[in-house]
Amino acid sequence: MTENTLRQPVEIQFKTELDALLGHDETLKLLKPDHWLLSPQAVVLYLIGGKTHDGTLISAKYIGQRRLIETAVATLATDRALLLLGVPGTAKSWVSEHIAAAVSGNSQQLIQCKRSLK
Ligand SMILES: Nc1ncnc2c1ncn2[C@@H]1O[C@H](COP(=O)(O)OP(=O)(O)OP(=O)(O)O)[C@@H](O)[C@H]1O
Ligand SMILES: [Mg+2]
């Protein structure tokens, strides 16, 4: 981390939680889609928060409807693109970063664009 870094990527900040979720998947023998780090169930648990099988506390990243996250994760698990649509500041980028970290272990492959209002 350099002096210009605002914050660590979430896969580093939440490494303890992601490691606990890996163990959770192993214990419960949950299946993962090809090339996924975690099972879809563990990705939802990472986003919504709760406890792993061994009792590790997982903090809530997204405060809102569980169904929305389940739908997003199911869309990706079935190999489709996911479009998050909503008014500014409703956690679209935030959720994307966390989903990328939980699915691939890397949230840093990011293209960010904004539509000009001019
Ligand atoms: N439902 C929510 N649960 C948890 N955090 C939230 C929620 N809504 C907003 N936040 C917080 O608000 C911050 C801003 O959200 P974010 O930048 O992801 O919005 P956005 O939908 O991508 O906006 P924009 O359309 O401007 O790109 C997030 O970093 C997060 O901390
Ligand atoms: Mg955004």
Domains held by the chain: number: 1
Residue 110 within any structural domain of the chain: no
Residue 42 within any structural domain of the chain: yes
Ligand with an atom nearest the CA of residue 47: 1
Tens of pLDDT, residue by residue over 27-62, are 999 999 999 999 999 999 999 999 999 999 999 999
Nearest alpha carbon, ligand 1 atom 30: 91
**H or E segment at 24?**
helix 15-28
Residue 54 within any structural domain of the chain: yes
Relative to the CA of 94, which ligand 1 atom is closest? 18
Residue 111 within any structural domain of the chain: no
Q: Show Cβ contacts of residue 59 under 8 Å, excluding neighbours closer than 6 positions.
A: 14, 17, 49
Q: Give CA separation, 92 vs 16, 35, 87, 118, in Å.
A: 24, 23, 9, 23
Domain that holds residue 39: 10-104
Rounded to the nearest angstrom, the distance between the alpha carbon of 88 and the centre of ligand 1 is 7
Tens of pLDDT, residue by residue over 102-116, are 999 999 998 877 777
Relative to the CA of 89, which ligand 1 atom is closest? 19
Which has the closest alpha carbon to 37: 25, 50, 51? 25
Nearest alpha carbon, ligand 1 atom 26: 88
Which has the closest alpha carbon to 48: 29, 67, 25? 67
